[in-house]
Amino acid sequence: MTEIQSNSNAQGIHDREVEQIFGETGLLSSSIPGYRPRAAQIEMAKSIALAIEGQSTLLAEAGTGTGKTYAYLIPALLWGGKTIVSTGTKNLQDQLYLRDIPTIKKVLKAPVSVALLKGRGNYLCHFHLERTLQNGRLTSREDVGYLRDISRFIKTTMSGDKSELARVPETAPVWNLVTSTKDTCMGSECQYYQDCFVMKARKEAQQADVVVVNHHLFFADLALKDTGIAELLPSANTVIFDEAHQLPETATLFFGDAVSTSQILELCRDSLAEGLSHARDGAEWAKIVAPVERAARDLRLAFPQDSIRLSLAQIAPSSPFFEHLEALKDSLEDLIATLEKQAERAETIEQCRVRAIDLHSSLEDWRELDPNSKEAKGKPDCVLWVEAYSSSLQLHKTPLSIAPIFNKQREGMPRAWIFASATMAVKNDFSHYVSQMGLWDEPAKTWPSPFNYQDQGLLYVPENMPQPNSWEYTDAVVDAALPLIEAAGGRTFILCTTNKAVKHCAERLRDEFEKRGLAFPLFVQGDAGRTELLDRFRAAGNGVLIGSQSFWEGVDVRGDALSLVVIDKLPFAPPDDPVLAARIEAMEKKGLNGFVHHQLPEAIINLKQGAGRLIRDETDRGVLMICDPRLISKPYGKRIWQSLPPFSRTREQAVAIQFFSHLTVPASVG
């Protein structure tokens, strides 16, 4: 039998099995209450089964409501061999591990073992917890209470995963003192090595049939070789990326390099503490550390602004930045020399030495290479840039394209690579995503959403809006949105493109709600964590939530609790972004148009994500209000709205308000 025949036979068997599982009288229908067969889900599952069978690559875009999670999980559990599933966020990772995979395992009676693997910062460290308890360096009463909770938790937890201890917020500073980093882990030298939660999680992942990770972890490991994926990948038969549209940004983050003044100050603190503890007589530690700290602080102060992003080319040659950078490298060399002399006196001093050498080499690498030099051969083109925060400065080295680096990672043993998302294409055209990831000539398929967008949703673009760059624009957005918020009885997301707009919208709406006697609870990004804000929004039933980028995707609010999504502006990346500017320059050198080939498709994919918050199931109805007049006035506007779900469209406020007549709006006037 030829290979083609055997493949088609295997696919025929898989197709029949997929039909039996997903069909009208299939396993899912008889086991999961409320499950309804969807043609797009069945076809998607068949295509994924074929890619897994042939150990090939597939780009799979499926509209909201297709049920893509089951469409990739079922073929993976049945035919995927050792499978790595990578998701966009830790929340989605937990949802897959705790809910979706156990459901499918039960339905299929599949005897597969499953492991959850997160970055080491998510796991408690016995060594660092003990050290923190001994040091008593905590300043706030709150942190002391949290530490008590953590001490109790470590005695009962099997996984050491901090997400299990909901009482201590994920953002609490105390976590940094009781978890390890690659730099501060003692490895097999540690007295707690046998009980280490990170090692335990990695061991379980090695032995499991299915391992659930997230994109940050996947790419951090490929770049840093620290998170266990490097050991997992060679044995994996199938790799599935859910929320695959996030990969270009995540991979860029990790395939680049960054070094910050706060890392250097942390090293100084640790070197001083370890030196005084284990080698007090070996050096004048305070005198050795002081010049490094001073140079790091001076480097930050070279930029008086509170928050700024500049490419190397934008930093004036006369700037004190360059002088302070050299001073930092020199003083770091002196610290390294001292640490080298004392390293054998304690493992922790040796650790500081290794960290200092890594930081020094990152600073040395932060320079432009002559493209014709031997050194530059085989290295990706990068852009060098700085980012200043209120108390630290980061030096970034970012590749202009991750395609060659990612393709190198995909070489080697044949395996299936599945890229799944609701938003990879622009009007069914995958070329932007393909060129970012280097997935040329790989098959790409789209399955439409089963929702009836024409009846369920309305796209409303208000008339007479000012230009988006005008000073009064955010006020005009609030003024245009208020009548609809009132008609919808709250139940609104306002998605902004900047944090400044979030703040301004919140101030205006607080005033307006008070003036008009509207009792809609207001939830503002930053007032609490994302999960908590969403829970409160759902529970309120008539809330208004204002958020920026983190609320544009991965947020699922079904039913009437969300009936209006207001988007202030088309989400174009800020034009002063140094990485964007360098990418556009590189594209234009090749004769491409940076706006048409990069900025526009990026904005469309982002907008599709934001628009996707509105209709989450077959019974949802609502209005998507995009305030930006460029959607109508610019030639590219048509390409944008044609890439959105096929909502009915209007420019008339009265038509948009009428759309809410199905809602039973509670009395909101106080």
Q: Does residue 489 share a domain with residue 418?
A: no
Tens-digit pLDDT profile for residues 632-641: 999 999 999 9
User: For strand 382-388 and strand 393-399, is the pairing parallel, antiparallel, or unpaired?
Assistant: antiparallel
Tens-digit pLDDT profile for residues 457-507: 999 999 999 999 999 999 999 999 999 999 999 999 999 999 999 999 999
Q: Is residue 627 part of a domain?
A: yes
Q: Is residue 167 part of a domain?
A: no
Q: Is residue 150 part of a domain?
A: no
Q: Does residue 517 share a domain with residue 459?
A: yes
Question: 501: Cβ–Cβ under 8 A, 6 or more apart, which residues?
Answer: 474, 477, 548, 568, 569
pLDDT at 546: 97
Q: Is residue 669 part of a domain?
A: no
Assign 418 to helix, strand or coil.
strand
Q: Does residue 407 share a domain with residue 395?
A: no
Q: Does residue 471 share a domain with residue 384?
A: no
Kindly tell me if the per-residue pLDDT of 136 is higher than 80.
no
- Integer Cα distance of 427 and 425 in angstroms: 6
Q: Is residue 23 part of a domain?
A: yes
Q: Is residue 175 part of a domain?
A: no
For residue 279, give the CATH number of its domain. Answer: 1.10.275
Residue 571 has phi, psi (to 5 degrees) of -85, 65
| Average pLDDT estimate for 1-21 | 66
Q: Does residue 239 share a domain with residue 268?
A: no
Q: Residue 232: pLDDT band by 50, 70, 90 thresholds? A: confident
Q: Does residue 332 share a domain with residue 245?
A: no
Which of 364, 399, 434 is where one domain is finished? Answer: 399
Assign 650 to helix, strand or coil.
strand
- Residue 520, both tokens: 């809609």
Q: Does residue 263 share a domain with residue 216?
A: no
Q: Does residue 7 share a domain with residue 22?
A: yes
pLDDT at 553: 86
| Average pLDDT estimate for 199-227 | 86
Tens-digit pLDDT profile for residues 286-329: 999 999 999 999 999 999 887 889 999 899 999 999 999 999 99
Q: Does residue 407 share a domain with residue 303?
A: no
Domain count, the chain: 3
Angle between the N-to-C axes of helices 403-410 and 247-255, in degrees from 0 to 180, rounded to the nearest 10: 90
Q: Residue 376: pLDDT band by 50, 70, 90 thresholds? A: low
Whole-prediction pTM: 0.90
Task: Check the CA dihedral 272-276-281-282 and report its sign.
Answer: negative
Burial class from Cβ neighbours inside 10 Å (0-12, 13-18, 19+) for residue 92 reads: buried
Q: Does residue 368 share a domain with residue 238?
A: no
Question: Could you list the residue range(s) of the whole structural domain that residue 625 is in?
Answer: 453-662
For residue 22, give the CATH number of its domain. Answer: 3.40.50.300
Q: Are 75 and 49 in contact (CB under 8 A)?
A: yes
Q: What is the largest CA-CA distance in the chain?
A: 80
Which of 385, 420, 447 is where one domain is finished? Answer: 447
pLDDT at 224: 63
Q: Does residue 510 share a domain with residue 629?
A: yes
pLDDT averaged over every residue in the chain: 91
Q: Does residue 315 share a domain with residue 291?
A: yes
Q: Are 104 and 74 in contact (CB under 8 A)?
A: yes
Q: Is residue 619 part of a domain?
A: yes
- Integer Cα distance of 612 and 617 in angstroms: 11
Kindly tell me if the per-residue pLDDT of 46 is higher than 90.
yes
Q: Is residue 623 part of a domain?
A: yes
